[in-house]
Amino acid sequence: MLFNSYIFIFLFFPLCLAGFYLLESRGKAQAAKIWITGFSLWFYGYFNLYYLSIMVVSILINFLIFRLLLREKEKGSRKNPGSTMADGRKGKKMPQKLLLAAGICANLGLLFYFKYYDFFVENINALFGTDFLLKNILLPLGISFFTFQQIGFLVDACRGEAQGCSFVEYALFVSFFPQLIAGPIVNYAEMMPQFRAIGHRAFSWEKFTKGLYLFTLGMAKKVLIADTFGLAVDYGYGNIAALNGTDAVLVMVFYTLQLYFDFSGYCDMARGLGWMLGIEIPVNFNSPYKASNIIDFWKRWHITLNRFLMRYVYIPLGGNRRGEKRMLANLMLVFLISGLWHGAGWNFVIWGTLHGVLYVCTRCWQLHGGGTERGHLPASEENAAGFGRLCQSLRRAAGVFCTFLFVNVAWVFFRAADFGEAAELFGQMKNGGFALPSAGIYDGFNLDEFWYVMKVLHLTSLPHSDMLLCAAFLIFALAAVFLHKNAGEMAERFLPKAQNMVTTAVLFLWCVLSLSGVSTFLYFNF
């Protein structure tokens, strides 16, 4: 089931919301948790009942391992009074380590089978000339997200940071539908206390209206902006040989914008749904294309994945505690894992490698006095107030431009089916010749509602009028990305005034009327 679908907007969520608050208002906390868990399972099972069976089995196995971990920790505490549940590292016993290893292997084994088995076999066949059969396994939606989430939960339990929960609470933690399919990746500390507070809190109209506004903004980003750019991107990647140089550059930039508005739009919708249910879901995007370097970018893009990899991969490997060379190697490994996590293909490995190399180089540059994230200038320039501020602003603008350019290039490998397709697109940029964009690139932007306005204003008689909407969309998207507050910032400041509510209603209606051309979210593929 999609957030941007009629069944979700007019049936699923109203029923979920009404039943949840009815049960909670009567103090039936356990029933309210079961209700929303049941709806979460319905939400996931709507895509494919086979997917649901996989997730349910995964929940059962992980909860069993979690309970066994808690039992072993309790045994350790009784035998060693100095060891407490709150101090997970002190007096850690071998059974706990074995249970944790078994849990991690079970989760990674499930992920490997469904996501990487065919990729592994293809490379074995290519390397050794074998002919092992591919299984063509259907990838369950969201498996990368709920697998990492459960691994984090088990590690936190072993550390003593996840100290207990009921099966219903655990099932809700894994299956909570707003962030189930495409994140954010949440942890015990930020979600479990909120689930336990269900039935013991006051309803907030302010939070509810802000949630509705944020959901609407997220839907607009997806339906009105991302999907429109997606028409040109799909045409471009489907007809690379026919593109001229201008087309190829635009396809690259359009995908960069499509991916951001699509994925951040999903996360905004998820946070908005959470707010309407009284649940705070962590921020996953913070204006990433405003980043002045690649380190800053990864503090703003897919924040919860970066947090997971740092906490559960980078730090356990030693982090920065074992010298600079080891730190840089650990960072590179994190980006390789990030690339593979996104997809089973060498193009994703290349994408991760590109980001990892630039990240490591930037970190070295910062460590050895090449600059700081703020880009401080020498004292003499800082004292020359106006000139110093101007130089600093120009330096930051150059950093933002270069970072955005790099991210654009790297996204080509992310979007392309393989390395050959990426190379072909870059080849068209170089050799395709620069001319006016092709009709296939700009036709998708000529939406009926905008084209009618252009006719009323007699703009259709202007030269190249069929390209005006494409240019307008691009300018608007770039301005929103670089100059405007992001959706989360706008929602935080939202007040339920009449004007704001009318604006929200009009935008919501526009999105609903545009659902006939609905598409799935891009990160459902990962």
For the chain, 526 residues long, the average pLDDT of each consecutive 10-residue run is 93 97 94 97 93 96 95 76 50 79 96 95 93 89 94 94 92 96 93 94 93 97 95 96 96 98 97 97 97 97 96 94 94 96 94 97 89 49 67 92 98 95 96 92 88 80 88 96 96 92 94 80 83
- Residue 373 near residue 292 (C-beta atoms within 8 A): yes
For this structure, is 342 an active site residue?
yes
Residue 389 has a pLDDT of 83
Token pair in block for residue 217? 């903004």
Alpha helices, DSSP H, located in 205-345: 205-220, 227-238, 245-276, 294-298, 303-309, 324-342
- Residue 474 near residue 437 (C-beta atoms within 8 A): no
Q: What size, in residues, is the chain? A: 526
Positive or negative torsion for Cα 279, 285, 290, 295:
positive
DSSP state, residue 39: H
Residue 1 has a pLDDT of 86
Residue 88 has a pLDDT of 45
- Per annotation, catalytic residue among 200, 302, 342, 355: 342
Distance CA 297, CA 30 (A): 41
CA-nearest of 92, 93, 136, 94 to 117 is 136
Q: What is the pTM of this model?
A: 0.92
Distance CA 100, CA 28 (A): 34
Residue 378 has a pLDDT of 52
Residue 300 has a pLDDT of 97
Q: What is the dihedral of CA 209, 212, 216, 219, to 10 degrees?
A: 160
CA-nearest of 222, 230, 173, 213 to 441 is 230
